[in-house]
Structures are given as structure tokens and as C-alpha cells.
């Protein structure tokens, strides 16, 4: 990367990380990538030690939430070196999110090159255990200091990384999901399709309430009719009914265009499965369960990859799926995607960006 200024940390935190108890998002690597925007242009990139930043109390993002982010991972490849999974899709999605909240677009090559440089610099933090990885969090936020509802004129783009284990403590064990008819995550015309802080803040209360009731997550319904499935708080959702893969369409207007979601749909079509991206009602799902036609359901996302659903609870009715075991479809999607990510099987789709070490 041209004009990259590097300041190396004086004290590595590598020895402080408990790789036997990683959790998710608890530990952070030594350095961060930073790029500032001012006078209508992005400045020169730099890598500097991870650490606190000076932010004024009047920082506009603290008050008006003008911030976006991405989530992706780096994996130690079985063939040597490091793999990134579909990073250009993350770059495109970041720019779609940016447009939704009036943040300047980021050059896609700069986005991917910044990730490459930071991952190479802190590659020692990438876990070696299968199933673990280095989580990558690129984000942009307004840096203007003012009170007033308008877009900032200055911004900061950053990348931080974190060695992680599974997002859910259950791992690939099926989770229990509450169908929430009361709370709204997003609505057509809002921010549901953008990876922005407000999108996730809207899901927190319902998720916290569900966890207090013994559920892992919430399945939200489409906001207007309260009939059609929307998303799980942190994942896209999919169903297998009569051997058909069904997931809510992006045209619904509130669905985040997930990278893992797209990968699963691509694989399913390549395998000859019947695939439908369509609105699907929660009553249709309940009826398919009663008729014995609901074979599987699972969430998809970067953090968990595939998260099987063992039970939905809807209006007090328990919809137990596949005897609370991971199904063959979910297992095959998980094995294929992670096999490609870790370099254990061939990548016929050109999804990997390989970093030789």
C-alpha cells in the first residue's frame, strides 16, 4: 500500500491472550489501521498501536449515530498463509451502508489493502485452532464536533482485529429462538439493509429480554404486517421446507445483504437445490412444522457462519426442529464454507483472497 505510515507498538499484548478461553470480541491485536477524511478527500493511511482515542464530548457520532461497520475474518490456511473470505463484498456493502447515512464512500482497493496490511502486520494473533479465527472490524464514523442534526464533514475509517472463538457458546449446537411480535428491528425505507449502529441498537432490548427468558436470540417479524419473517438479531435466517431452501428477499427492504447468506444461496443453487428468496409468513412456518415439512432452520452470518435453530417459540407454541439436532443441510453448508475458508477444500468460486506469509 502506497504512503502507508507505520508506528509499531512498544508493548505487545500477545502474551496476555488466553487462547484456551477466547470467547468473542474480548481480546484485541496490537495495531489498528486508520484513515482520516477531510476537505472532501481521504488522507494517507497509517498503522498505529491499538489504544484509546481522544474524542470530544460534542463528537457528532455520540449524539447522532453517524457510523457504519463491517465484520469479516482471517483464517490460517491449511495450505500455508492466510485467507480472507470475499472481502470485496464487504467493501461494497460498506459503501452501501455509507450512502444510507451520508458517509463518503471508501475506495474498495484501499479497504481490502488496509485489511491485508493490518492482518500481515498482526498475523501472530491469528489463532491456530480449527474453528477459531481473527475477526476483522472495519468501521467509519463522523469526527465532527457539533450539536445539530446534519452530516459531519470529517470522518475516520479504522480497522481493528480480534482473535475469536465461536460467536455463540453453543457453537454448532442448535439454539432456541423466540419469535417476537412486539418489537421492531427495522422497516422498509429505514436502516435494516445498512450495517449501521442504529440497526443493531434497535434489536438490543428484545434480545436482552429474550435471553432473560432462556432464549439465545430473537426472530423479528416484518414491521408493517407483523406476519412475515424478517431477521434474527445478528443473522439472516433460512428454512428448509420440503427440501426447498427459503429465505426472506432483500427486496423486503429490511434485510441485511449478508456475505454468508449470499454464499449459502450460491452453494445451494450450485448443488441443484430448489431455492426461493421470498417473503415467508411465520404462520406458514408453524403450519409446515405441524405437518412435518419443516426440516431445518438456521441463521447465517460472518460471526457464527451457520447457527442451527433447534426450537422456535411462537405464541407459546414450541416448534422443535429436527429433534434439536443440526440437520444435514446446515452441516453441509457449514463444512463447505469453513472448508473453503481454512483452505482445506478447493475454492471453485474465487471467494478467497490469499495472503502468502
Which residue has 449515530 as its cell numbers?
Answer: 65
When mean pLDDT is compared across 152-161, 163-172, 267-276, the lowest value belongs to 163-172
Please tell me the predicted confidence (pLDDT) of residue 13: 95
Bridge-based pairing state of the strands 67-69 and 82-85: unpaired
Q: Measured in whole angstroms, how far is the alpha carbon of residue 225 from the centre of its chain?
A: 27
Mean pLDDT of 252-261: 96
Q: Cα–Cα–Cα angle for 66, 67, 70, nearest 5°?
A: 160
Q: Taking 70 as the threshold, does the pLDDT of residue 69 lie above it?
A: yes
Q: Which of 109, 162, 131, 130 is nearest to 353 (CA)?
A: 109
- Segment among 3-17, 167-181, 229-243 with least mean pLDDT: 167-181
Residue linked to cell 433447534: 310
- Taking residues 212-231, report their average pLDDT: 94
Alpha carbon 29 to chain centroid distance?
19
> Does position 167 have pLDDT exceeding 80, yes or no?
no
Question: Are 34 and 46 in contact, with CB atoms under 8 Å apart?
Answer: yes
Here the cell at position 278 is 421470498
Distance CA 179, CA 182 (A): 9
CA 69 – CA 66 distance, rounded (Å): 11
Instruction: Please tell me the predicted confidence (pLDDT) of residue 172.
Output: 82
Closest Cα partner for 225 from 252, 193, 202? 252
The full set of domains in the chain, from first to last, is 5-164 (3.30.470.10), 175-339 (3.20.10.10)
Q: Is the pLDDT of residue 29 over 80?
A: yes
Helix (H, G, I), strand (E, B) or coil at 180: strand
Give me the residues paired with residue 240 across strands: 245, 296
Rounded Cα distance, 238 and 286, in Å = 14
pLDDT above 70 as % of the chain: 99
Helix (H/G/I), strand (E/B), else coil: 349: coil
Confidence of residue 1 (pLDDT cuts 50, 70, 90): confident
352, 300, 357, 302: which is closest to 126 by C-alpha?
Answer: 357
Return the DSSP state at 294. E
User: What rounded mean pLDDT belongs to the chain?
Assistant: 96
- pLDDT tens digits, 318-340: 999 999 999 999 999 999 999 99
Residue whose entry in the numeric block shows the C-alpha cell 426461493: 276
350: its cell numbers: 474465487
The whole-number average pLDDT for the span 258-270 is 98
pLDDT of residue 346: 97
Amino acid at each position: 500500500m502506497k504512503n502507508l505510515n507505520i508506528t509499531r507498538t512498544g508493548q505487545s499484548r500477545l502474551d496476555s491472550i488466553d487462547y484456551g478461553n477466547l470467547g468473542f470480541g474480548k481480546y484485541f491485536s496490537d495495531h489498528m489501521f486508520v484513515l482520516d477524511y477531510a476537505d472532501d478527500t481521504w488522507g494517507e493511511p497509517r498503522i498505529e498501536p491499538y489504544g484509546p482515542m481522544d474524542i470530544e464530548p460534542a463528537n457528532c457520532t455520540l449524539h447522532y449515530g453517524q457510523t457504519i461497520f463491517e465484520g469479516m475474518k482471517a483464517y490460517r490456511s491449511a495450505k500455508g498463509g492466510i485467507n480472507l473470505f470475499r472481502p470485496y463484498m464487504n467493501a461494497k456493502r460498506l459503501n452501501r451502508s455509507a450512502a444510507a447515512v451520508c458517509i463518503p464512500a471508501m475506495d474498495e482497493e484501499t479497504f481490502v489493502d488496509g485489511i491485508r496490511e493490518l492482518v500481515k502486520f498482526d498475523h501472530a494473533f491469528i489463532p491456530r485452532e480449527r474453528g477459531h479465527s481473527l475477526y476483522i472490524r472495519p468501521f467509519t464514523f463522523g469526527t465532527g464536533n457539533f450539536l445539530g442534526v446534519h452530516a459531519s464533514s470529517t470522518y475516520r475509517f479504522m480497522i481493528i482485529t480480534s482473535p475469536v472463538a465461536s460467536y455463540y457458546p453453543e457453537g454448532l449446537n442448535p439454539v432456541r429462538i423466540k419469535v417476537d411480535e412486539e418489537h421492531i428491528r427495522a422497516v422498509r425505507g429505514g436502516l435494516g439493509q445498512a450495517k449501521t449502529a442504529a440497526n443493531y441498537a434497535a434489536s438490543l432490548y428484545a434480545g436482552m429480554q429474550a435471553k432473560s427468558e432462556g432464549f439465545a436470540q430473537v426472530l423479528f417479524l416484518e414491521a408493517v404486517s407483523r406476519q412475515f419473517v424478517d431477521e434474527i438479531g445478528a443473522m439472516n435466517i433460512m428454512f428448509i421446507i420440503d427440501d426447498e431452501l427459503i429465505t426472506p428477499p432483500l427486496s423486503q427492504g429490511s434485510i441485511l445483504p449478508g456475505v454468508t447468506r449470499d454464499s449459502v444461496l450460491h452453494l445451494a443453487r450450485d448443488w441443484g437445490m430448489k431455492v426461493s428468496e421470498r417473503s415467508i409468513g411465520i404462520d406458514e412456518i408453524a403450519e409446515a412444522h405441524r405437518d412435518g415439512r419443516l426440516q431445518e432452520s438456521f441463521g447465517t452470518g460472518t460471526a457464527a457462519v451457520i447457527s442451527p435453530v433447534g426450537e422456535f417459540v411462537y405464541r407459546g407454541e414450541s416448534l422443535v426442529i429436527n429433534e434439536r439436532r443440526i440437520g444435514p443441510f446446515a452441516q453441509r453448508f457449514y463444512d463447505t464454507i469453513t472448508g473453503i475458508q481454512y483452505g482445506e477444500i478447493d475454492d471453485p468460486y474465487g471467494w478467497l483472497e490469499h495472503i502468502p506469509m
